[in-house]
Structure 1
C-alpha cells in the first residue's frame, strides 16, 4: 500500500496527488505552515486524510516550537490551529483532527505536564489517529461489503479510496472488501470535473489493485443507468449533517437523483468523524469555492475565453432522501437518518479501533 501520508523523523511526507497518475512523487512538510499549504493545494485531499493531516500539522507545530513556557506555547498553539483551520472549510474532519490534538494539548498543559512530555504525547496521538483511520476504513468495508451486488458494476464519483484516507479507503474500501469476499465487481469511475479525481486518482489506485475500472465523463451515468449497466452507487463524504444530508464532491447530488430515478441504491461511506452533529441540515454546510483557474485551464492550457465568468464550488449537498444507507465504522445507518444518527451518537463510545499489525 503506497502511503498517502507518513510521519517521518524529518516531517510529514505526502504523496503529491496533483501529479498523479503520471508521477509518483512526495512532498515533505517540515512545519505546520507547509502542512497547511499541502492541504490547501490538494496535494493531500479526501476528508479522512485531511483530518489526520491536520492533526499531524498541529503536532508538528507543537513539536517544532521553541517556546520554553506553557503560556508562550499556548499562544503558538492558537496560531497553529487557526492557520490549519483556514485551509478547506467543507471537510469537517479537518476541524475534528485539529480539535483532537488541541484538546489533548490543553488537557496536558492544564495538568502541569512538561513541554517535552507534551510534545511526545501529541506526536503519539497523531500517529495513532493514522493507524485508527486505516482500521476504521477496513471496518467500514466489513459493514458495507454485502450491500454491494454479488456481481455487477458499481459507480463511484470523485475519489474515496486509499488516496482519500490513510489507507484502504472508505467507498473504495467497501468495494475492496466486497471483492475480498468473492463479489465479482467492476467499477465505473466518473472523471469528476474539474479536478479529475476520478480519472486521475480512482482509476490509478483501482488499477494498482487489478480491479476492473472504466472511466466515464461526468455526463454519461444517466445513459448507462438507463441501460441497466449500473447496479449500485457508492461515494464518500466530506461532511454529513445531523439529518443525513451529505456534502461530497461537486456532481454527487446529480448522481444521487439519477440513481433514485432508476431504482439504484446510493450508498455513502464515511468515518463517524465526518458526521457533524452540530449542523442540523445540509443548508448549514459551508461550500468551498475554489480558484477559477481549475475550470479555465487543463494541464496548464487555457480552455475558456478570456474574461468569461466562472463558478467553481468544490462540493454539493445530497439530500438525505436520495441516500439508501450511510456506512460508518460503527455500523450502517438507514432512514430516517436524523433518528439513526442520534441513536448511534447516544451509544457508549466504542473503544479506540487499533489497526492490526
Structure 2
C-alpha cells in the first residue's frame, strides 16, 4: 500500500541555515561536471565556454586574501572580474555549465535560481541575505529574470553588495518575454539591467541550436477521478504519495512562503492532484509556478484529474508579461505528468 500524505496539511518551519543549505544544484544537476558536458564540434564557442569557466573556477579557489577589502567593501583588483555571465539560447547547456562551475569550486558557495534568491530576500530581509551570502566564495544565479523590473533592481543591488564584499558571481538569464522563439541572446539586456556591475562581468557566449521552436510537448489526457484513485493504490505501493484536492492545495500555498517549497515537498515520491482547474489569479499562478519548478527539480511524477496542464493558466497569462514563467511551468508539469501517467522519463 502507498503512504498517503497531503501537501495541503504541511506547513514547514525552516531555519536560516536550512534555507541556505537548499542553495545547491537540483538532483538533475547533482553530479554534472565540465567533463560530462559534451561540446558540439560544430559550435566552438561551447568548448571555449568550458575553458573560460575552468579558469574562472581556478580564480575563485586561488584568489588573493581579501580581509580588509571585505571589511571595508573595497573593489577587487582590476584584472579579477567580479563575475561571469553565460549568454546563449535555450537548450545549449547553460545550467549544466553553471552547475559544473559550482561543483568545481571548493569554498562556501550557493546555487539557485533568480526566483529562489528573491524569495530568500523575502524570507530573511535584504540585509540579512547580504550578511548570509557575503562570506561565500561563489554565488551562482540561474535564469536571471529580465521580465520583472522590481525584482531585477533588487537582484542587481544584491549582486553589487556581494561583489563589493569579494564574492564571485556567475549567472545565466532568460530572454525577454517578447523574444520567445526568436533564438536571440540576452547579454545586452542583462548588462543593461545590472547597470553599474556590467563592466565587472565577463560575457561568455555559447552558440547552439535553439530548441524553443519545438513548442510544448503534448499534455496527456487527464485521468478520471476514479482512475486516479485506483492508480494511486495499484501503482505506487510502498511509495509516499501526496494526494490533494487541487483547490485546497492552491489555497494552502498562500500560507507557505515560496522559499520553503523545497522542504514543503521533502520525502514525497509522487504527487496526485484531484480536479485540477484553471488558475485565474496572477499572484496564485506565480506561486504555483515556483511549486512546479521545485517538483521538476526533484523529478516528482504527477498524476491528475481535471483540466490538462496546457489549460492550467488562462490564455491572457500565457500571452502576458510573465509568459516565459508560464510556458516553462506548463512544459515542466506536462513532462512530470507524462512520467507519472505514461512512465516516460521527464527530460
TM-score by length of 1: 0.27
Which structure dedicates a bigger proportion of its chain to helix? Answer: 2
Q: Which has the higher contact order (CA 8 A, sep 6+)?
A: 2
